[in-house]
Amino acid sequence: MVSARCKTLVKEELKKLSIEYASVELGETEILQAISPVKRAILNAALCAWGFELLDDKKSILVEKIKNIITVLIHYSEEPLKINFSVYLSEELKYNYTYLANLFAEHHGITIEHYIIAHKIERVKELLVYDELSLTEIAFKLHYSSVSHLSGQFKKVTGLTPTHYKQL
Amino acid sequence: MNKKQVILIVDDDEDDKQLFFEAVKEVDETIECRAASDGMEALKMLNDKKNSVPDYIFLDLRMPGIGGKKCLLEMRKKERLRNIPVIVYSTSTEIRDENEFKEAGVVHFISKPANPQEIYYLVSFVINEC
């Protein structure tokens, strides 16, 4: 699982620099002592080499948490949400959805909904390439209300129909 | 065969209404779009039993006369309108307590984006989710 590998990489980098930590989660690490600016810069460089980024302002961290929740939902969750996404996100992060949505759009330049759809389409592309499921099964797996809705979003995001994409 | 879906858009701004119409048609051209320019007109349309109950309502909060919140609360008093999923356009300052809106059946909150592309993604997300 990619998320487990990410956490392992972060733990390894922390160990190399003898930084003790209480927890390493997706998007959030709690360290047990203050670190010097030099050590911080070294850690940042090491994490950057793995494609990570060290964030410390609260809003950036919150945006990162939103992205992590979306990644887990789309890539690792089999069950559909039992509540609406807006309710789920605000309950998970303890902020109003409106605040989170505005913050995300401000930081990211696109809406949360656009980000979710773009990620879902990436997942659809993966599943099409694996060639194990039909489009109907993919629509069901990713909790689309209909195949035509999936196809419409796919065309909008990629410019291609799913069938055309699969033939490439 | 599935019944044709109906969306009611309640917004006093003609340009915004047009953008939503276009986005809905891009998401699914079979969806029937109805429009009202304020809360009063929306309630009149919704209370008219000749009209079928819409599948979703996109409701602007800031409108002259009967605004979005009042319209929502009035709607929820009626048995046949109580369960329609409502998506409100809002800014964080207009909504101080989201729970109050959730209790009144609001399923999603959106900030009206200026970019028509973003409206497509909002509408597409909401229609798929609700």
The DSSP result for B29-50, as a single string, is TTSEEEEESSHHHHHHHHH-TT
Distance CA A131, CA B72 (A): 46
Mean pLDDT value of segment A127-148: 92
Identify the weakest region by mean pLDDT among A7-11, A88-92, A116-120, B103-107: B103-107
The secondary structure of A36-96 as a DSSP string is: -HHHHHHHHHHHHHTT-----SHHHHHHHHHHHHHHIIIII--SPPSS-HHHHHHHHHTS-
Backbone angles phi, psi at B82, to 5 degrees: -65, -35
CB contact under 8 Å between A101 and B109, yes or no, is yes
Separation CA B56–CA B49 (nearest Å):
17
The shortest CB-CB distance from B95 to any of A98, A111, A145 is to A98
pLDDT given at position B44: 95
A17 near B CB under 8 A: no
In chain A the first and final C-alpha atoms are separated, in Å, by 27
Q: What is the pLDDT of residues B111-129, one digit of tens each?
A: 877 788 888 999 899 888 7
Q: Quick one: tokens of B83?
A: 């369960």
Report the gap between the CA of A100 and the closest CA in chain B (Å). Answer: 9
Judge whether A157 and A121 are in contact, CB under 8 Å: yes
The Cβ of residue A138 has, within 10 Å, a number of other Cβ atoms equal to 21
The pLDDT of residue A167 is above 70? yes
Neighboring chain B residues of A85 at a CB cutoff of 8 Å: 108, 129
How high is the mean pLDDT of chain B? 87
CATH architecture of B6-129: 3-Layer(aba) Sandwich (3.40)
Closest CA to B59 of B19, B12, B128: B12
Task: Pick the closest to residue B128 from A99, A34, A150, A130 (CA basis).
Answer: A150
Instruction: Give chain B's largest Cα–Cα span.
Output: 43
Q: Which of A81, A90, A96 is best to mutate for the B interface (most B CBs within 10 A)?
A: A96
Domains and CATH numbers, chain A: 1-54 (no CATH), 57-168 (1.10.10.60)
User: Domain residues of chain B, as ranges?
Assistant: 6-129
Give the one of B98, B111, B125 whose C-beta lies nearest to A117's C-beta.
Answer: B125
- If contacts are CB pairs under 8 Å, which of residues 11-70 in chain B contact chain A? 26-28
Task: Report residues of chain B scoring pLDDT below 50.
Answer: 1
What pLDDT score was predicted for residue B11? 92
| Mean pLDDT value across residues A32-45 | 84
Q: At what angle do helices A112-130 and A97-108 cross, to 10 degrees?
A: 70
Q: What is the ipTM of this complex?
A: 0.84
Collect all residues with Cβ–Cβ distance below 8 Å to A137 and sequence separation of at least 6. Answer: none
Average pLDDT value over all residues in chain A: 88
B109 touches chain A (CB under 8 A): yes
Residue from the list A98, A114, A148 with its beta carbon closest to the beta carbon of B111: A98
A1 pLDDT above the threshold of 70: no
Is some CB atom of chain B closer than 8 A to the CB atom of A147? no
- Residue A101, classified by CB atoms within 10 Å of its CB into exposed (0-12), middle (13-18) or buried (19+), is buried
Three-state SS at B125 = helix
pLDDT, tens only, A63-99 = 999 999 999 999 888 788 888 888 899 999 999 888 8
Residue range A49-73: mean pLDDT, rounded? 87
